[in-house]
């Protein structure tokens, strides 16, 4: 029998903001932008949650529910830095670590009793190490399955530890709402409620064949999860089989819709810089570049192009995305949002044509120098001339869907 931890940082974005501004502690805080801006809540402090504010809620709605809240833009670069520190602690604790997101991770600690003692003692050791390294609180769930460990960490919040002894999983899960099961969203919850299923215990009583008939393969996964088993989705692969991010993207929602082609293309250039920087940080090269274009009426199109040669260079990304934009944008149409998405990783090219090779190598050296300057003086220190009219700051809600977890050190 295996022993798993699920470690989840408490109100991570808010807690990081409090490190840099201690006056925020204990107050209702909303991370994601200003209350009069477009966008959604990326995170809310526990004090703000008492008023019903939650992540993914429109900022303007959050303000109506909690007008006394302090709204902050957020600092994605700070969150990534703190996440890297957490990852370093986890890698020093066990070699079997899987970052589920920027602020949560699964750990397999099976066989570490001689080193750390029983699971509860081991969790306290890890809890203290994370606190010492980051000055941030976390919650840890312990169980014989990752699914139950994840639910445990949620139940232990804030700043707690919860261990479900093997054999007690069903009793622990039975009184919980079905929405507590990882993977059960609003639609599935509504469908389960229509069948009279509100608690995990109700779900556990149903026949597997019935669930499969009603929900297909997801029904079989639900049946397993109701019994406390790892089934479907994230749990199909073993911890430690980290394949890295499947894609890297950045989006920008305009404060006011615009049809100015110069502004739109400048924004795309800036987004390509942001994507290129993260590609280089992750040591990835992308073959497929995709444009996301949302008009004022919320009509959204995506268009992609795959190149025979992979890249991680801002200039080459911009050449691709600008061509896609000019081919697909309706001249004069006002745009609400733009996005740049990179995927289909490839090994770096070792042989190009002589002219292309020299140009590519010069730009690679230029981008490396630019990254060093950005590390020292900030992201706005240097950039493409094409993006000078779009020196916007990365906003948390634009980065949140794709904020990749840190790679394992070494």
> Catalytic residue numbers?
104
Tokens in use for 199? 């608690």
Strand, coil or helix: 177: strand
Burial 347-377 (b: 16+ CB within 10 A, else e): eeeeeeeeeeeeebeebeeebeebbeebeee
112 by Cβ neighbours in 10 Å (0-12 / 13-18 / 19+) ranks as middle
Residue with tokens 């639900």: 222
């Amino acid at each position: 029998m295996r022993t798993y931890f699920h470690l989840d940082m408490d109100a991570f974005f808010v807690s990081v903001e409090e490190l840099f501004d201690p006056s925020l502690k204990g107050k209702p805080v909303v991370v994601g932008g200003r209350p009069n801006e477009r966008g959604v809540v990326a995170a809310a402090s526990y004090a703000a949650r008492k008023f019903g504010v939650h992540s993914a809620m429109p900022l303007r709605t959050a303000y109506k529910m909690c007008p006394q809240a302090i709204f902050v833009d957020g600092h994605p670069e700070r969150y990534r830095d703190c996440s890297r520190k957490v990852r370093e602690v986890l890698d020093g604790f066990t070699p079997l670590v899987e970052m589920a997101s920027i602020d949560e991770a699964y750990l397999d600690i099976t066989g570490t009793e001689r080193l750390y003692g029983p699971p509860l003692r081991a969790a306290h050791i890890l809890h203290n190490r994370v606190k010492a390294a980051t000055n941030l609180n976390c919650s840890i769930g312990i169980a014989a399955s990752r699914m139950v460990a994840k639910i445990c960490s949620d139940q232990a919040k804030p700043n707690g530890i919860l261990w479900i002894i093997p054999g007690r999983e069903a009793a622990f899960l039975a009184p919980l709402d079905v929405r507590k099961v990882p993977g059960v969203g609003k639609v599935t919850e509504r469908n389960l409620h229509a069948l009279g299923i509100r608690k995990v215990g109700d779900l556990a009583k149903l026949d597997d064949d019935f669930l499969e008939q009603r929900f297909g393969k997801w029904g079989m996964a639900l049946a397993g999860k109701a019994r406390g088993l790892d089934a479907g989705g994230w749990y199909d692969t073993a911890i430690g089989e980290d394949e890295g991010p499947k894609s890297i993207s950045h989006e920008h929602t305009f404060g006011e819709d615009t049809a100015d082609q110069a502004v739109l293309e400048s924004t795309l250039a800036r987004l390509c810089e942001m994507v290129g920087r993260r590609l280089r940080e992750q040591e990835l090269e992308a073959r497929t570049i995709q444009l996301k274009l949302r008009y004022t009426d919320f009509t959204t199109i995506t268009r992609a192009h795959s190149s025979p040669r992979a890249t991680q260079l801002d200039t080459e990304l911009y050449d691709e995305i600008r061509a896609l934009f000019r081919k697909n944008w309706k001249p004069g149409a006002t745009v609400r949002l733009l996005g740049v998405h990179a995927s289909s990783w490839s090994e770096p090219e070792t042989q190009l044509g002589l002219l292309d090779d020299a140009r590519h190598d010069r730009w690679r050296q230029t981008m490396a120098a630019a990254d060093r300057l950005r590390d020292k003086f900030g992201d706005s220190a240097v950039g493409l001339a094409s993006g000078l009219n779009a020196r916007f700051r990365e906003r948390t809600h634009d980065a949140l869907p794709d904020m990749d977890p840190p790679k394992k050190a070494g």
